[in-house]
Chain A
């Protein structure tokens, strides 16, 4: 009797499998299209850039773009991790300013607007990372353990951190950063900026981690359905706090790159420049869902590159200064619409 039942079940299962397999082949094609949704846009932009300006496709210009976007890119990795787990962190821009500010303030002489402690620059880098850890941990505890809303917590944290950034140096910009501290943002290996290499490495490592490490997979599981992840025995709260810490540390590293590039820490670095808009735009254009659980590092990286290329074209074409923000905003909106049209619902949620 049960053998017959099994045969019946097996038969229906076979038929149903065949049907679903045919259906999913087209689904697979669509998902590939989504992953590559930004490529045509990027190609078009590069062609436009090359046509408009003969200088665009030179090595020095391209490495220049690389150096400019690497700091932003590292922050985008951090924000993407937080978005993937179903959270959000507005304060990454403030950490991007505060962490290098605290470190620079402690290492440069009082004459360069330092605190006068003149710590060793290597110690400064450790302090920078520690600030990242502390901010991320505070955010994580408030959001995960305190069950406060992530938007409000990180908004409040942003203002607090930016205030401290201004307060400790009384609105001044410490300059003359010692070699080791500025190395990451200013040095080159051959023709290639170190910051670009490090940023690319961070993207690759984060991408592989998300794809192959069990914690990376846990991030997708938690972002996709937190309760299901919990029921499967994943330590949801611990992973969430960890991701907030990782995001803030990455923001601090991005800030270190930016400080090295301009060889000072402006009191406006981060919050004052409002970089969080570009961070979210790059992630979302790259297909990272604001609802969590969906997106990858290939997408996030192409979002960053797209923003960098647009910025560079505007610079090369001497776009009128007063209009540059308007053009920038318009281009981002168009890119979002394009990503949505090409990639379907997934890219632009």
Chain B
């Protein structure tokens, strides 16, 4: 069978970085190929090359056996392959039909004077949606759609252009569980209709569930490509992290802890990391949340109360819109509730005042690191010490050296990879940007750390490291932790998990290890109360 897409001998360099080294990849019609790899393995570069955004330095991309269109010919390229990016590419002010036919609207009459044929455009959009069983109204403005619906619009756009090849880049990153299920149904449907799909994900379970083949990138090389039935999870992780021979004689296969949801409760403090646990961590204050009510777009919190005892790690989880994230933001002072109060150590914290919350000892790891996590143009050290400028300045003055001194221990502890702590965070990889965000929260020696999905978009190994470090620091300093996440793997470091459903605390899990099935059921509002 002729591959829908074939990439042969692809090389790409950025300055001195060799991002892709001779990658060979074939994508067959009716197959779904999962592409996995750690952050910085070259996945994004490969996506850009296959989407016609950047040219390869060497090698060729062919579609159905024919050479790829030239880089500038966007329309021809789109007719060959369509990419659904992590961040939505629909124009919010335009309707669904306009977005589906963006740049190629049906016209009345020929030439540059041909006016847009609105009726035909809407009708065609409806037909395509109906053919595939998608249910989004063609004349809704895209700004009012959910993330899932926007994805449907993007897929429809690809199908309307006649594309038989889809590239899905982390498509589930912003979906809740029901949305993921429906996406998988759609992917299966497309695959059965002969569409070729390249599926990029950090979640190995998803890859196993939906893909027919899998390919692993490591350091710009394709190290594994096989039908899904022939590989196990361990093979994949080994391929992603590097085989024992390559990593040095002392390194055995990666620990099984990397492989799946950890059933084994909290990670014990680790004396081998160079710091010793102080015998008696200082007593941390209790957090009390009283009758918090809030109504924002999509979420409703109706009178939620909870207590986090000093030093206790507590998890918050729930579906998107359940209020778990909003509640955590309110505790951190990043959002203001309509009513209710947050008290730390019995002191009332001014609602919606992040600076006041910080002063009271609340560290904050925001959900969206691009939007709130760091200042891209400033250096890593400056970002990390941004929460403690008052503390490290003398008469308001603080120099780069002093900032780097304060940031260095944290950077080392989180294995931050940079060309020096002055390097702008913009130039770091996504995983390292997240480490900067976490380090910034830890820098202020908080009595309570509020973390929202702290491991989103981070590769497996960094995920483990960040969680272990959060766990270790809270235990060492006696800080409490409020961790809101819909990634159940994150919750292993908690002693207690609260599940929110539609703005209320639905149930509480108090005994780790938590049962994954029961947690999922609870987030859906099922199970014993």
Binding site for B on A (CB under 8 A): 1-13, 16-17, 19-27, 212-215, 217-218, 220-221, 224-225, 227-235, 293-294
In the bound complex, CA of A9 to CA of B440 (Å):
21
Q: Residues of A contacting B251 with CB < 8 Å? A: 4, 7-8
- Chain B nearest CB from A267 CB (Å) reads 41
- B185: CB under 8 A from chain A? no
A224 touches B387 (CB 8 A): no
Which residue of A21, A212, A228, A233 contacts B358 across the interface (Cβ within 8 Å)? A233
B372 touches A227 (CB 8 A): yes
B377 touches A224 (CB 8 A): yes
- B355: CB under 8 A from chain A? yes
B250 touches A4 (CB 8 A): yes
A2 touching B386 in the complex, CB below 8 Å, given contacts A228-B371, A231-B373: no
B415 touches A13 (CB 8 A): yes
Closest to B429 in A: A16
- B89: CB under 8 A from chain A? no
B389 touches A214 (CB 8 A): yes
Q: Within B488-512, which residues are at the interface with A (CB < 8 Å)? A: none
Which residue of B248, B255, B358, B427 contacts A5 across the interface (Cβ within 8 Å)? B255
A225 touching B374 in the complex, CB below 8 Å, given contacts A19-B16, A24-B420, A217-B382: yes
Most interface-central of A7, A26, A234, A293 (chain B CB within 10 A): A234
B16 touches A23 (CB 8 A): yes
15 A-B pairs within 8 Å (CB atoms) are namely: A5-B255, A11-B248, A16-B417, A20-B17, A20-B417, A20-B427, A214-B390, A218-B389, A220-B378, A224-B375, A228-B374, A228-B375, A229-B375, A230-B354, A233-B444
In the bound complex, CA of A294 to CA of B376 (Å):
11
Q: Residues of B contacting A3 with CB < 8 Å? A: 272
Given A2-B468, A19-B16, A217-B382, output 7 extra A-B contacts at Cβ < 8 Å. Answer: A7-B251, A20-B418, A27-B427, A225-B374, A225-B375, A235-B355, A293-B377
A231 touches B366 (CB 8 A): yes
What 1/0 mask marks residues of chain B from 340 to 383 whose CB sits below 8 Å from any chain A CB?
00000000000000110111000010100001111111100011
- Chain B nearest CB from A77 CB (Å) reads 19
A217 touches B389 (CB 8 A): yes
- Chain A nearest CB from B379 CB (Å) reads 10
Q: Within B248-305, which residues are at the interface with A (CB < 8 Å)? A: 248, 250-252, 254-255, 270, 272-273
Q: Residues of A contacting B15 with CB < 8 Å? A: 23, 26
A213 touching B396 in the complex, CB below 8 Å, given contacts A19-B17, A231-B372, A231-B373: yes
- Chain B nearest CB from A295 CB (Å) reads 10
A9 touching B17 in the complex, CB below 8 Å, given contacts A2-B272, A228-B371, A230-B372: no
- B306: CB under 8 A from chain A? no
Binding site for A on B (CB under 8 A): 14-17, 40, 241-242, 247-248, 250-252, 254-255, 270, 272-273, 334, 354-355, 357-359, 364, 366, 371-378, 382-383, 386-387, 389-390, 393, 396-399, 415, 417-420, 423, 427, 440, 444, 461, 464-465, 468
- Chain B nearest CB from A253 CB (Å) reads 22
A232 touching B420 in the complex, CB below 8 Å, given contacts A4-B252, A214-B398, A294-B377: no
Which residue of B17, B241, B417 contacts A8 across the interface (Cβ within 8 Å)? B241
Q: Residues of A contacting B354 with CB < 8 Å? A: 230-231, 233
B374 touches A17 (CB 8 A): no
- Chain B nearest CB from A228 CB (Å) reads 5
- Chain A nearest CB from B284 CB (Å) reads 19
In the bound complex, CA of A233 to CA of B374 (Å):
12
The 9 residue pairs across chains A and B that have the minimum distance between CB atoms: A233-B358, A24-B419, A224-B375, A232-B386, A214-B389, A20-B419, A231-B372, A21-B419, A16-B417
A6 touches B252 (CB 8 A): no
Q: Residues of B contacting A27 with CB < 8 Å? A: 427
A13 touches B373 (CB 8 A): no
Q: Residues of A contacting B376 with CB < 8 Å? A: 224-225
In the bound complex, CA of A293 to CA of B378 (Å):
9
Closest to B363 in A: A233
In the bound complex, CA of A212 to CA of B359 (Å):
22
In the bound complex, CA of A217 to CA of B389 (Å):
9
Q: Residues of A contacting B444 with CB < 8 Å? A: 233
Q: Residues of B contacting A24 with CB < 8 Å? A: 419-420, 423, 427
A17 touches B427 (CB 8 A): no
In the bound complex, CA of A293 to CA of B374 (Å):
13
In the bound complex, CA of A22 to CA of B259 (Å):
34
In the bound complex, CA of A218 to CA of B419 (Å):
24
B419 touches A227 (CB 8 A): no
- Chain A nearest CB from B61 CB (Å) reads 26
Closest to B393 in A: A214
- Chain B nearest CB from A83 CB (Å) reads 14
- Chain A nearest CB from B447 CB (Å) reads 14
Q: Residues of B contacting A294 with CB < 8 Å? A: 377
B387 touches A17 (CB 8 A): no
- Chain A nearest CB from B408 CB (Å) reads 13
A20 touching B371 in the complex, CB below 8 Å, given contacts A26-B15, A214-B398: no
- Chain A nearest CB from B118 CB (Å) reads 32
A11 touches B375 (CB 8 A): no
Closest to B333 in A: A233
In the bound complex, CA of A213 to CA of B383 (Å):
15
- Chain A nearest CB from B460 CB (Å) reads 12
In the bound complex, CA of A212 to CA of B403 (Å):
11
A212 touching B440 in the complex, CB below 8 Å, given contacts A1-B255, A224-B376, A228-B373: no
Closest to B398 in A: A214
- Chain B nearest CB from A293 CB (Å) reads 5
In the bound complex, CA of A230 to CA of B364 (Å):
11
Most interface-central of B241, B354, B371 (chain A CB within 10 A): B354
Closest to B273 in A: A6
Q: Residues of A contacting B355 with CB < 8 Å? A: 233-235
Q: Residues of B contacting A23 with CB < 8 Å? A: 14-17, 419
Q: Residues of A contacting B418 with CB < 8 Å? A: 17, 20
